[in-house]
Structure 1
């Protein structure tokens, strides 16, 4: 178990969405925070909101997680500001709209540099320090698309599956070494954040209606608030859960994948995605 009161927590992608909700909830439970994001204005607004409700120590860090040197500097600065830092939440992520033939290699690499390599860079930068703490925890945010892979998500699903594989293997290594560091991988379903609205479109996506349709579809299935997602992650940290599924949709898709590992998409297309027949047969 990793206790939240008295903890010091580093969070990437903290200015919005799940990261922002986590910062607020953790501060309310007695944790100090090192908050990282590219959005400096968003970080300042968040820090002001936390300061109005609690007296926790909060440090702010402008970080692009796709840059290894920037992540290493963040770790050094966060540890200097919070010497007892013992929880790291690798949450920063982006989305990319388009089928494989509509996205180019540079766009896939852009997404991987943030969604996967950002997790790896941060884990490497913090791990030695975490291992020196009496109790420590790494939380790597994957996705339900790290368990199932619908069409139109080739880059995103590949990166989130990679986060899952990296996290599970590292967890087993930490267990073999009797490390004090615990590791949870998070698989959110549809969470009401702006990740789809802020997504990039593939270079081959020429239909402007596609983004509107994607947002509409996401809004229809995103039934979990960012705050509820944050509360579920905190419970998972406290219970040392290796896998944290968030939302009824995520739990359903996880079970579906277990029972129909090669055929889950037909069920998802009909009951979850509600994709037109001609599209999901493609």
Structure 2
């Protein structure tokens, strides 16, 4: 797929972040869109931005939007059917919607584990299965599944997120091999973003046990992680779309993803000890800072 002009792209999680920037860039390149999210207000804004981008580029495209919970199999299949009916065909499905849940393993809430698996993994499976017949029928299709840097390496407190993203990676790599074997006109790419400047950290869920485990409260932890979000969503979308045009099996998004992938390949076992060592240093600094602030507060009260 060397061009997106005249193609139809479906995108989940399109109300913000990478989903929105993918929609805008695809519209700018002449693709019609079927976008979805649970955030209808954000979807409305994405429609406006995408329409404006298409108009500026001189493209007459069709854009439809749908409130959608990707963890619902029935809703995902209904959306795929509606997309094909509204647009006449479907060429691309970007299974992009995702959430985050941070907790030590011994404190995992099983309901929240089901929640993150439903969106991050099953949403990808449902999107792939629901759209695949339509992609094959189009004669030129592509499935783009968003895994993560954390689908390449594990992190403390991220076991549930790691589980979903490693699963997406394995699922998509197997899918790509099957599509290659069938030679059916459809391909697939596994996407591994590093720290992207989106709202996923602010919207993430963290268990109360995080503070005891890491030495910092959940909100401070979110702010800390956001410091490492170094790649813009616009840049991420550009990298992903170039990978689709190049029919890449896997795409690393951001210099942090490239660096971490290299470290895991070079140090497949010892990278874990390195991460644990760095996390302990950060925890000790946090605890020392808290102790110092508490002592200073007490001195102020005495004065």
Q: TM range, normalised to the smaller chain?
A: over 0.9
Matches within 5 A, 1:64-75: 64-75=69-80
Question: What do the CA deviations read for 1:91-122 (whole angstroms, capped 9, x no partner)?
Answer: 00000121112221111111000000000001
Q: Is 2:115 the partner of 1:147?
A: no
Partner of 2:132: 127
Shift of the alpha carbon at 1:275?
2.3
Q: Which moved more, 1:20-29 or 1:216-225?
A: 216-225
Alignment RMSD, CA only? Answer: 1.8
2:281 pairs, out of 248, 264, 277, with 277
Higher helix proportion (structure 1 or 2): 2
2:263 pairs, out of 256, 260, 275, with 256
Runs of 4 or more above 4 Å deviation: 203-209
Q: Output the TM-score relative to the length of structure 1.
A: 0.93
Distance (Å, rounded) in 1 between the aligned partners of 2:27 and 2:218 = 35
Structure 1 runs not aligned, ≥5 long: none
Q: Which has the larger radius of gyration?
A: 2
Is the 8 Å Cα contact of residues 11 and 94 (structure 2) preserved in structure 1?
Answer: yes
Structure 2 runs not aligned, ≥5 long: 285-303
Q: Is 2:39 the partner of 1:28?
A: no
Distance 1:200 1:278, change over 3 A: closer
Q: Output the TM-score relative to the length of structure 2.
A: 0.87
SS where residue 134 of structure 2 aligns? helix
Matches within 5 A, 1:163-242: 163-202=168-207, 204-205=209-210, 209-242=216-249
Distance (Å, rounded) in 1 between the aligned partners of 2:157 and 2:245 = 35
Shift of the alpha carbon at 1:216?
2.5
SS where residue 234 of structure 1 aligns? helix
Shift of the alpha carbon at 1:209?
4.8
SS where residue 137 of structure 1 aligns? strand
Distance (Å, rounded) in 1 between the aligned partners of 2:162 and 2:204 = 14
Shift of the alpha carbon at 1:85?
1.4
Shift of the alpha carbon at 1:26?
0.7
Partner of 1:247: 254
Partner of 2:107: 102
SS where residue 196 of structure 1 aligns? coil
Distance (Å, rounded) in 1 between the aligned partners of 2:185 and 2:44 = 33
Distance (Å, rounded) in 2 between the aligned partners of 1:203 and 1:136 = 44
Distance (Å, rounded) in 2 between the aligned partners of 1:67 and 1:125 = 12
Is the 8 Å Cα contact of residues 101 and 204 (structure 1) preserved in structure 2?
Answer: no
More contact order relative to length (CA 8 Å, sep ≥ 6)? 1
Is the 8 Å Cα contact of residues 201 and 226 (structure 2) preserved in structure 1?
Answer: no
Q: Is 2:10 the partner of 1:10?
A: yes
Is the 8 Å Cα contact of residues 2 and 240 (structure 1) preserved in structure 2?
Answer: no
SS where residue 235 of structure 1 aligns? helix
Distance 1:118 1:231, change over 3 A: same
Question: What do the CA deviations read for 1:110-144 (whole angstroms, capped 9, x no partner)?
Answer: 10000000000011101111111221100000000
